[in-house]
Amino acid sequence: MADAVAFFDGRLMPLKEANINIATHAFNYGTGVFEGIRAYWNEEQEELYIVQPGTHFRRMQRSARLLQIDLPYSEERLVRITQDLLRANGFQEDVYIRPLAYKADAVIKVGLSGISSGFAMFAVPMGDYVSMTGIHVAVSSWRRISDNMIPSRAKVVGAYVNAALSSDQARLDGYDEAIMLADDGHVSEASSSNLFMVRNETLITPPVTADILEGVTRQLVFELADDLKIACEVRNIDRTELYSADELFLCGTGVQLASIVTVDRRPVNHGHPGPITQALQKQYLALVRGQLPAHRHQVTPVYRPRNDA
């Protein structure tokens, strides 16, 4: 990271120089939005593939509108900035990309309107965020923030205190991750990833009205399930269903597609990843490295000569 390059104040610069004032509104009030985007290195092709950057930036634009943040760049320009950033760093490994849009004025004011906006982006090498061979989760005592409190369909900087409290509690109690319930008691999602359950060979996941983030990877799972002829259902999930599920897994940019093998110390599928989870995981990991021709449009190369048209 000492020699890393970031995008800040409209240009590429050394990451160590991309700093904000401590009086910045976003630093004091959490008034920012962000995205998490991954890029995967394909050694055989000597290419770095960004996974669905356009989809991520469209979501970021929606998040920014909710907080009255002005994003100064189009979706296409944001994708090109991302490519330029990764080239400038010369990455030849798996990478996590963090774009941020935020209220940039140095001002003490509880509000959103009349405050200028800023944009920045950096990237860091990242392998597996959690184990890909099976994780242990607990149902958290922390409830998922309701959409009428802080928009759950937006990646709002300040809202991730909710995620931090639940995930930290889980880890201190000896688990890998936390499952959060919505205010009505139904399953919402993990601290920072979506949840899928398998029952009777059907893939089931909570609806967007269950205070979940509308996950980019969640949508990819639907598409991969369709490829594999796996039935899907979107409905509310009761907590007790987690204890009787045939399979469970988390999905998201960070966690990728991670099998859950215990919930509250109760085994899922005898404590092993299930066949549907493994099949989807295999397809997902091939997709993100540009190895699925039918899904090549969902990854964007970094080092191949780009077409700015």
One domain, residues 32 and 161: no
Last residue of a domain, one of 95, 125, 155: 125
**Which pLDDT value is given to residue 250?**
98
One domain, residues 39 and 187: no
Residue ranges in the chain assigned as alpha helix (H): 25-29, 53-66, 75-89, 160-172, 216-227, 239-244, 275-288
pLDDT tens-digit map of 7-51: 999 999 999 999 999 999 999 999 999 999 999 999 999 999 999
One domain, residues 281 and 148: yes
Q: Does any domain span residue 73? A: yes
One domain, residues 159 and 119: no
Residue 306 pLDDT greater than 60, yes or no: no
**DSSP state, residue 106:** B
pLDDT tens-digit map of 26-37: 999 999 999 999
One domain, residues 153 and 265: yes
pLDDT tens-digit map of 65-80: 999 999 999 999 999 9
One domain, residues 141 and 183: yes
Pairing of strands 194-199, 135-139: unpaired
Q: Does any domain span residue 21? A: yes
One domain, residues 104 and 150: no
Look up the CATH number of the domain holding residue 176: 3.20.10.10
One domain, residues 204 and 62: no
One domain, residues 178 and 98: no
**Which pLDDT value is given to residue 99?**
98
Contact 87, 305 (CB under 8 A): no
Look up the CATH number of the domain holding residue 92: 3.30.470.10
One domain, residues 112 and 169: no
Q: Does any domain span residue 14? A: yes
Query: How many domains does the chain contain in total?
Result: 2
Q: Does any domain span residue 221? A: yes
Range of the domain at 68: 5-125
pLDDT tens-digit map of 103-153: 999 999 999 999 999 999 999 999 888 888 899 999 999 999 999 999 999
| Tokens linked to 148 | 């009428």
One domain, residues 257 and 173: yes
Q: Does any domain span residue 72? A: yes
One domain, residues 93 and 155: no
Last residue of a domain, one of 84, 105, 125: 125
Contact 156, 150 (CB under 8 A): yes
Q: Would you tell me the crossing angle of helices 216-227 and 53-66 to the nearest 10 degrees?
A: 140
Q: Does any domain span residue 308? A: no
Tally of residues, the chain: 309
Q: Does any domain span residue 227? A: yes
Residue 258 pLDDT greater than 50, yes or no: yes
Last residue of a domain, one of 83, 102, 125: 125
